Amino acid sequence: MSDLTPKQIANLKQLLLERQAELEDLISNAEAGSRPVSLDQPIGRVSRVDALQQQSMSQASQRAAEKGLQQIAAALQRIASGDYG
């Protein structure tokens, strides 16, 4: 594979930075949804199960976003050092 041009590298870096911002927003939103479900809320058993399921999905989404952020940080590091490909 041939080397990337500086313009291509800049475009890829910009895409990575945009995706990084998206994931950071996703994590912020997921943190709100992953708060513990209060057992003293006056909701029914089914509603509580739904709340627990929503909490679990939010936590999984947050973990996936955090992993994506790690991968983006590593990619940006490789671009900065010129060790990409």
Name the token pair of 83: 């060790």
Give the whole-angstrom CA distance, residue 19 versus residue 72: 8
Distance set, CA 60 to CA 1, 28, 30, 80 (Å): 36, 13, 9, 30
Q: Has residue 48 been placed in a domain?
A: yes
Per the structure, how many domains does the chain have? 1
Full domain range(s) for residue 66: 6-36+43-81
Is the model's pTM score more than 0.85?
Answer: no
Which are the contacts of 85, defined by CB distance < 8 A and separation ≥ 6?
1
Q: For residue 44, what pLDDT band results from cuts at 50, 70 and 90?
A: low
Position 1 scores a pLDDT of: 40
Position 40 scores a pLDDT of: 59
pLDDT tens-place string over residues 46-80: 677 787 888 888 889 899 999 999 999 999 999 99
Q: Has residue 14 been placed in a domain?
A: yes
Give the whole-angstrom CA distance, residue 11 versus residue 80: 14
